[in-house]
Amino acid sequence: MAYKVFSCAICDKPEVDCKCDRYCTLCQSPFGVRLCEDGLFYCSDCREACDYSTQDQV
């Protein structure tokens, strides 16, 4: 079964290949940021508050 691969909104690469600066889109934190389905990076607190999932959580 095929699944959607999350890609960075800037470089259009998956998280493992992305070399962009990583910081949370909402709070600007550089700690614990992960790529989410919308192509932006979020820290764990903002992901939890907004109910966003990372690639490995879907």
Domain span at residue 30 reads: 1-58
In angstroms, rounded to a whole number, what is the distance separating the alpha carbons of residues 19 and 45? Answer: 23
Please report the pLDDT score of residue 33 as a whole number: 98
Q: Which residues of the chain have pLDDT under 70?
A: 1-2
Please report the pLDDT score of residue 2 as a whole number: 55
Please report the pLDDT score of residue 58 as a whole number: 78
Tell me how many domains the chain contains.
1
